[in-house]
Amino acid sequence: MSTSELSWFKSSYSGSQGDSCVEVAVTEQAVHVRDSKTTAGPALTLDRADWARFVASAERGDARA
């Protein structure tokens, strides 16, 4: 599946001014992340286990993630 076929949504933590937004698309196998200002640009793709580790690390404020 190409990233253009995914159902993207903006993070609830994105800036209210629309200038620092992150979009996420979730599939059964992976979580995709991209810059909403550059939708045709690259997207970061993580399997769901790696995404869960990333989120847990971010919640802890762990800079070593």
Q: What is the pLDDT of residue 37?
A: 86
Residue 37 lies in a domain: yes
Residue 27 lies in a domain: yes
Tell whether 30 is covered by a domain: yes
| Cross-strand pairs, 31 | 26, 46
Q: Domain for residue 17, yes or no?
A: yes
pTM: 0.75
Q: Tens digit of pLDDT for each residue in 12-65?
A: 766 666 666 889 999 999 999 998 888 888 999 999 999 999 999 988 888 664
10: pLDDT strictly greater than 90 = no
Per-residue pLDDT at 36? 86
Full domain range(s) for residue 52: 3-60
**Does residue 65 form part of some domain?**
no
What is the spatial distance between Cα 51 and Cα 35, in angstroms, rounded to a whole number?
17
Query: Is residue 2 classed as helix, strand or coil in its secondary structure?
Result: coil
Q: What is the pLDDT of residue 39?
A: 86
Number of structural domains in the chain: 1
